[in-house]
Each structure stands twice: as structure tokens, then as C-alpha cells.
Amino acid sequence: MNISKRLFKVFTAIILSFSICNCTFAGLANDAKMEYNKGIDYYQLGQYERAAESFKKAIDLDPNYIDAYYNLGSILEFLHKDEEALNAFKQIILRKPDDYESVYKAAEISKKLGNDEKAKIYLTLIPQDSLLGQRAKQLADTLNVDLPTIKEESNAPETFTQGNPQSITNGVYENITSPTGIVTDTSGNLYVAGFSDNTIYKITPNNQKIVYIKDSLIDGPIGLARDTSGNLYVANYNKNNVLKIEPSGKITVIIENILNPYCMHITENLLFVSSQGGNSVIRYKLED
């Protein structure tokens, strides 16, 4: 089961992806948050049916509660209620079309239900240069569909607002949720941490915004840094740790027990991290 970067990531004794987000979100009604938290509690106790009911109640109270939809869909899929699970992920896509983890889940479940054509359509919505793109490509291969070709025809780049019509160097990247840390790579891509939705966004040189990665390990990302090997480092403010994200998508906790990590900087093989809660700066030697 894959519950995005929002809920549980592993069921004991079963290999599955399930994300958990136990954060509080400012715009949600208190009752909806209470039901959502009950759902997480029930899940952790292994009471999956009751967890699903709590997530449904949270959605009834707040019809735009994206994480509740995702967790509900993941539980329903685990319980082999695939049609209901697919409907939950569809609700996310309607509200947040660039939630590519949900798009992938919709494709995966559609294939499971025997609707290969629908699965193909979902897969063409996933940018191939996102970390999820590789998984989408692998699933597409089983459906005999060429994602890059279809993607070219079906995807429009994210808008970029020019600040000065006379200069292409000025502008605004819009619709990024709670942006915090930023870093670039040698290809001209910009990576932006979205603090409140636990997402790392990627903005390409042609101004296309995509979800680079979301994962249950990411919780309150702020500072970002990148080394010469293409590894991305994330100051995980709410989890008091620092993450390393490899180009393959593998995520590793490299520094723990650092109170409220904030800004980061890399020089040669040294990573420096400011600890806002500890009034200090940590120096960490990166692996060669």
C-alpha cells in the first residue's frame, strides 16, 4: 500500500509503501483534524476498517482534505477494495492535478482492475524527469506505452509570470505551497522545498513545475543543499534530522537529533547545518 508522503509507509510483515502525515494544517476544521488523527491512531493499532471510517469522516467535514483522501485510498487498496480506493485517488487528482503520487496510484489500480487504457492516460500525466517518472516508466512498459511521446503531446508547462516584459531574467514562479529552501543543479533546474505539504518541487529551465519527490520521511522541509554527485540534502525541521535523497530516489537519514535544522551549505565534502533549536551549526563530513 502506498500512502504518499502523508501516512504510513510499511505494514508490519508486509512489503508496501504507506505514508503518514501527522501534521496539523492551519486551514482545516478542528473536527476534521480530530477525525484524521483518530484514523492514524486506528491505523497504528492495526484497526484498518475503523481507520478508514475516520478518514471518511474527516473528508465529510473537509471535502478538500487531500491527505485524508490519500490515506483512505491506501487503506482501501490494502483491504482489496480497489474500486473504492481508485475513487479516493481520483478525488485528489480533481483537486490537485500535480499530485503525481496519487496519479501513479490511480494508474496502478486501474491496471489492477483491468482498465489498461485508463492506466495509460494517468501515466502520461506524470513528468518523466520527476523521481516518480522512473516508476511510471516501468509501469508503462508493462502496458506497451511510450510515455515520453505521449507526455510531449499531453502536458503543458507551468506558467511563469514575467515581472518585466523587457527582461526575461525577472519573473515569479507561482502556486508553490509554503516555499522555503531553494537550490539549483548544473542543468538549470530549480528545487524548492514546500514546507506545509512536505514536497520538494522541481522547476525546469522551460519553467515547468513538477513534484520532484514526496515521502513520509519528509516532514517540514526547509533548507536544501546539493552535492556534485546530484544528491539532494533536506533540513527536515519537524523531524529534527537531515535527509539525503539520491538521484535514484533512495532516501536516507544521515543526521539525527539535530534540533530544528534550518539552513544548509556544502563546500567540498563538508555539509554545514544550522540548528535553530540548538543555537548551533553542525559540521558533517559527507561520504566520498
Length of the chain: 288
In contact, 122 and 90? CB cutoff 8 Å: no
Residue-wise pLDDT for 197-207, tens only, equals 888 999 888 88
In contact, 36 and 68? CB cutoff 8 Å: yes
Specify the DSSP element, H or E, that contains 206.
Answer: none
How many angstroms separate the CA atoms of 18 and 10, rounded? 6
pLDDT band for position 169 (cuts 50, 70, 90): low
How many angstroms separate the CA atoms of 183 and 232, rounded? 9
- Average pLDDT value for residue range 215-230: 92
| pLDDT, greater one: 171 or 195 | 195
Which pLDDT score is estimated for 277? 87
Residue-wise pLDDT for 96-111, tens only, equals 888 888 889 999 999 9
> What is the third-level CATH fold of 175-285?
Neuraminidase (2.120.10)
In contact, 72 and 20? CB cutoff 8 Å: no
Residue-wise pLDDT for 8-33, tens only, equals 433 333 333 344 444 444 444 578 88
For 13-17, 168-172, 225-229, which range has the lowest pLDDT when averaged over its residues?
Answer: 13-17
How many angstroms separate the CA atoms of 62 and 31, rounded? 9
Residue 284 reports pLDDT greater than 50: yes
Q: What are 27's three cell numbers?
A: 486551514
Which pLDDT score is estimated for 218? 92
> What is the third-level CATH fold of 4-154?
1.25.40
**Domain residue ranges of the chain, discontinuous segments joined by +:** 4-154, 175-285
Which pLDDT score is estimated for 257? 92
- Average pLDDT value for residue range 225-241: 94
Q: Among 278, 273, 157, which Cα is nearest to 221's? A: 273
Give me the residues paired with residue 261 across strands.
275
- Average pLDDT value for residue range 245-262: 92
Which pLDDT score is estimated for 47? 93
Can you give 11-53 as a three-state secondary structure string?
ECCECCCCCECCCCCCCCCHHHHHHHHHHHHHHHCCCHHHHHH
Residue-wise pLDDT for 34-56, tens only, equals 998 999 999 889 999 999 999 99
